[in-house]
Every structure is written in C-alpha cells, then in structure tokens.
Amino acid sequence: MDRMSAMHTFVRVVETGSFSAVAREQSSTQSAVSKQVAALERHLGVKLLTRTTRMLSLTDDGERYFEDARRLVAEVMEAESQLRRGEQQLTGWLRVAASVGFGTRVLRPHVLSFLTAHPGVKIDFRLNDGFIDLVEHGIDVAVRIGNLADSTLVARRIGTTRLAVVASRSFVAAMTAERPTPQIPADLKRHPCIVYTEMRTRNVWDFRTADGSTASVRVEGSLQTNSEEILRAAVIDGLGIAYVPTWLFQDLIASGDVQILLPGWEPSSLPINLVSPPERRRAAKVRAFSDHLSAALADSPACR
C-alpha cells in the first residue's frame, strides 16, 4: 500500500463525503477508492469511517486521524512543490471558482493571461451564482464579493467593487408624475425593483451620503434572482430598478443605455476577496495565481 496515496484518498473522501466523487477526481473506480481506504484502516488497526448506503461518517478514531492526515498531506504536497519550483515551471490543475457574471465579465481575460504565462498549468474554471463549499468541491481558490462569514478559509483582499442603483434609459424615460425619478432612497418604494438575492441585504437597500447621512429602504418588485446575468437582462428589458455592482453594467453605463440613479446617495462598496482552504493557500500555483490576479485587477475599474 502507498500510505501517502491512501491517506490523501481518505482525506478527499471525508472532504467530499463521497467515494464516487473521489473516484472521478482520480480517474479511478469507486471500488478502487474504497479498497485504498480499507487498506489504510487495516494498516492502522482502527475503523476510520462508518459507511451506510446513504452516508459516510467519521468514527472517533477517524476524526482524530483526519485532522492530522489533512495537515500532513498538505505539508507533503507543499514540500514537493517547493522542491520543484526551482527546477521547473508550475504544472498541474488549478481549480478556480467565481460567480458567473464576475467570472465572465471581469476575470476571464486574467485567467487566460495566467495560462499564457504558465503553460504547464491547467485551470478548471468553475462559475456558479450560488454558494459552493470549496473543500467539498476541491476548489483551490475562489473569488468572493462581499463581507465574508467567519470560517476556516484563508482570505486575501484584492480590491473593492462599487455598488449603484440603476435603471435602463427606457425605464427612466417612462417615469411619470405618479412615479417620478427617485431623488431620495424612500422614493424607490414607488417603483418596481429587481432584487439580487446573493446580496447580503437582499431587498433592504442601504445608502450613505458624503456628509455621513444614511438611509435604508425595503423595496418590492416582481422579480428576484441569484443570477447576475438575469439581473442584467431584467434591467436592460426595463423590468425595474436594481441595486448592483457597477462592473455588471460598465459598458451600458458608458453608452447611456443604463443610468445611475439617486445622485448623492451611494451604497457602501463591497470587498473583493480571494479565499482558499488553509491547506491549499501555500501551494505554489495558488500563490502565483493570487499574485497574478491581484496585480491584474489593481487598476481595474471593477475593483475600485
């Protein structure tokens, strides 16, 4: 038995909660993965996992072993990476996660330029508008916008993104005396609003002014979505007013097809962070990608 290989397999089975998921990662079979874990249990003389048809759970011995095994696997992988760094280029897969809109509209060219700079690296670029568990999905680094919840993830702030209240030019042109152009946040209650559900405050929109005044308003409308691209399309189609990151509409704001409302009242900017599981943050590929992205976005309008 290759003990380190079996240990790594065991760690990934626990992290993913699935023998089949690890088999897919390793281009192997579920039976082969199960045999590796069983061989490790025989070697240790203890049962690490309790297996049923529906779930896996760690035994008490398994819980104690898992934390040490995960740390050891990460340290061995980093030690090997450090030895190779002076001798050869970065190689292997890097799994990167981001939201669909930010990944497509902001990150895409920088991911491609990283691949050009490091031809030995392959990137699995996963775009998803919902929350994903980085450990379970084997993600090396993810871009997350907004204040981070407390977690074991390691974060590196790479910028901020400005928020604004916007509507299409046609929607603004159709405003009437009964529903005039909003001048203060409370005026938004008289208009249909589109709610982006991935925003922490959802349909409660917060504002501030240069002199320190603040306001919050609870809005309503016929559409809410967790998709940045659906949000963009709904604004373009004139469905209502939205509270959005400005990078999602940079081109349309520049052309005048989408207009920023409520001059003088601004939402607070949101931080943009790169986050990684602690055992992956020291990996050479992760550090190199984080440095590349941080430098590339330093002067980007999307991150100021």
SS3 at position 296 = helix
Give bridge partners of residue 206 from the DSSP assignment: 216
For 129-138, write each residue's pLDDT tens digit.
888 888 888 8
Instruction: Supply the CATH number for residue 188's domain.
Output: 3.40.190.290
Q: What does the alpha-carbon distance between residue 235 and residue 258 come to, in Å, rounded to a whole number?
A: 8
pTM given for the model: 0.69
Instruction: Supply the CATH number for residue 48's domain.
Output: 1.10.10.10
Q: What does the alpha-carbon distance between residue 3 and residue 290 come to, in Å, rounded to a whole number?
A: 32
State what percent of residues in the chain have pLDDT above 90.
45
Instruction: Supply the CATH number for residue 125's domain.
Output: 3.40.190.10
Number of residues that make up the chain: 304
Q: Are residues 248 and 224 in the same domain?
A: yes
Q: What does the alpha-carbon distance between residue 264 and residue 182 come to, in Å, rounded to a whole number?
A: 12
Q: Where are the alpha helices (DSSP H) in 58-212?
A: 60-85, 100-102, 108-117, 169-173
Cα-based torsion angle of the residue sequence 144, 127, 218, 209 in order, rounded to the nearest 10 degrees: 50
Place of tokens 């609870």: 218
Structural domain count of the chain: 3
Final residue belonging to a domain, choices 260, 280, 295: 260
Is 65 within the bounds of a domain?
A: yes
Q: Are residues 153 and 175 in the same domain?
A: no
Q: What does the alpha-carbon distance between residue 205 and residue 188 come to, in Å, rounded to a whole number?
A: 10
Final residue belonging to a domain, choices 51, 85, 119: 85
Q: What does the alpha-carbon distance between residue 49 and residue 277 come to, in Å, rounded to a whole number?
A: 23
Is 46 within the bounds of a domain?
A: yes
Q: Are residues 132 and 97 in the same domain?
A: yes
Q: What are the DSSP calls for 97-140, one per residue?
A: EE-HHHIIIIIHHHHHHHHHH-TTEEEEEEE-SS---TTTTT-S
* Parent domain of 70: 3-85
Q: Are residues 139 and 169 in the same domain?
A: no
Q: Are residues 175 and 245 in the same domain?
A: yes
For 198-254, write each residue's pLDDT tens digit.
888 889 999 999 888 999 999 999 999 999 999 999 999 999 999 999 999 999 999
Q: Are residues 251 and 284 in the same domain?
A: no
